[in-house]
Structures are given as C-alpha cells and as structure tokens.
C-alpha cells in the first residue's frame, strides 16, 4: 500500500505545482481567480507531502497501519473535494462549488486526526 500512497502523493504534488503555475502565469482579466488557485495549490502540495509521509510511515507501521491508510484516504478525498471545488470555483465562478469545499476540509481534519491516532496506537516493527 505504501507504493500507492507514493503514487497519490506524486499526483497531489503535480497538481499543486500545476495549479500554482496556472495561477501565477495564467491569463489575466477574465481568467481563473489566481488567489483561489494559490489556495488550491498550497493545500494540494501540503497534503501531497502528508501523503508521502503516510507512505514512508506505512512501510514501517505495525498496529497503526490501518489508521495510516485511513489518513491517506482522507487526505486524498480532501485534495479531491477541497482543492477540486476551489479550482472549479476559480475557473467557472459558479458559487455552488464553494459548498463542497468544507467537506474536503473536514476530510483533511479527519486525516490529520487519523495520523495522530496511528502514532498513539501503532508500534514500530523491529528492523531486521
């Protein structure tokens, strides 16, 4: 499963860079709101790094591995819903997309809580 989290981390990191570039170098005037793209870019990048941490920790986890997988799933859902809804809002200016954003934010919060629980419940395997 840790390879999967590395893959998802790479996709989130790619999205973070692409969104940042689009916000910084995209068409001005009537194009997407660069402030919103900056927010989506930062959160995608932060959680791409968090997913990379999940991958590394998952490869060494004992009992807390299920919580790490839950954290990774929540971070992934958060990137899709939080960042995705902000990008859709920036590009389309349809205000209803903003209603999805808090659901993604809650997924991020649950992911961070699951990461903390994995540390409390997990035990590190002895390296051989």
Entry pTM: 0.86
Domain-embedded: residue 128: no
pLDDT band at 128 (very low <50, low <70, confident <90, very high): very low
* 15, part of any domain: yes
**Number of domains the chain is built from:** 1
Give residue 111's pLDDT band: very low, low, confident or very high (50, 70, 90): very high
pLDDT digits (tens, 9 = 90+) for 28-76: 656 688 889 899 999 999 999 999 999 988 888 777 788 999 999 999 9
Give domain status of residue 61, yes or no: yes
Residue 20 located in a structural domain: yes
* 61 neighbors 127 (Cβ within 8 angstroms): no
Strand, helix or coil for residue 28: coil
Residue 127 confidence (pLDDT): 47
Of the given ranges (37-51, 92-106, 111-125), which has the lowest mean pLDDT? 111-125
User: Would residue 6 count as lying in a domain?
Assistant: yes
Q: Does residue 107 lie in a domain region? A: yes
**What's the domain range around 55?**
2-121
Q: What is the mean pLDDT of the chain?
A: 86
Q: Over pLDDT 90: what percentage of the chain?
A: 52
Mean pLDDT of 114-126: 77
DSSP letter string, 43-103: HHHHHHHHHHHHHHHHHH-STTHHHHHHHHHHHHHHIIIIIHHHHHHHHH--GGGGGTHHH
Which tokens is 75 given? 């971070």
- Is the residue at 63 inside a domain? yes
Distance between the two ends of the chain, CA-based, in angstroms?
A: 20
Check residue 42 and report its DSSP letter: H
- What is the structure's pLDDT at 29? 58
The four Cα atoms 81, 56, 111, 103 give a dihedral, to 10 degrees, of 0
Which letter does DSSP use for residue 26 in this model?
S
Q: Which two tokens stand for residue 127?
A: 């390296």
Separation CA 71–CA 6 (nearest Å): 14
Residue 126 in any domain: the answer is no
């Amino acid at each position: 499963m840790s390879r999967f989290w590395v893959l998802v981390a790479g996709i989130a990191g790619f999205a973070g860079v692409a969104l940042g570039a689009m916000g910084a170098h995209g068409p001005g005037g009537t194009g997407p709101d660069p402030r919103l793209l900056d927010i989506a870019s930062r959160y995608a990048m932060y959680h791409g790094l968090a997913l990379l941490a999940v991958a590394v920790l998952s490869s060494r986890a004992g009992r807390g591995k299920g919580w790490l997988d839950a954290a990774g799933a929540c971070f992934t859902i958060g990137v899709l819903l939080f960042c995705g809804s902000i990008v859709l809002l920036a590009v389309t200016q349809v205000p209803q997309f903003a209603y999805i954003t808090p659901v993604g934010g809650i997924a991020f919060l649950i992911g961070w809580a699951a990461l903390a629980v994995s540390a409390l419940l997990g035990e590190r395997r002895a390296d051989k």
